[in-house]
Structure 1
Amino acid sequence: MVILTRLNGKTFTLNALYIEQVEAFPDTTITLTNGKKLVVKETISEVEKHVVAFYRKINVLGLQQDMEV
């Protein structure tokens, strides 16, 4: 799970496995596998770092702890 921030400042957790794509319109918009869209304060780069850290934590795709983003 990753912790993100809505535009109103409230934080929420998201299961990163459900993220299909992340775009900037200019706000960062996350599209989930079910088609739902979430708009967050974090940049695309920040979302990517959170997701990679989550994947490392759960050892998805064999990502090693010592790899750099």
Structure 2
Amino acid sequence: MKPSFEIKHNLLTLPKEKETDVYHKELNLISWYGKEEKLDIRGWSDDHEKMTKGISLTEDEFIKIARAGLKELGGK
């Protein structure tokens, strides 16, 4: 079964690590199967037809993870 999703807003697109890579990483606000929008991090093909496994987070979950990462990295 092909997943049903709607990318509501692209927040960040990272370049492919190598020119030969099929996927690039994106941070998007996505609605999966018509449900509430979540922040989503995963790899996407240029046409958004294929994707890698990723993670979808609520805003609160995303903020907690981002704060923990910044704390660990010394606020960099």
- Structure possessing the higher relative contact order (Cα contacts under 8 Å, 6 or more residues apart): 1
Provide TM-score, normalisation by structure 1: 0.35
Provide TM-score, normalisation by structure 2: 0.34
**Which structure shows the higher helix fraction?**
1
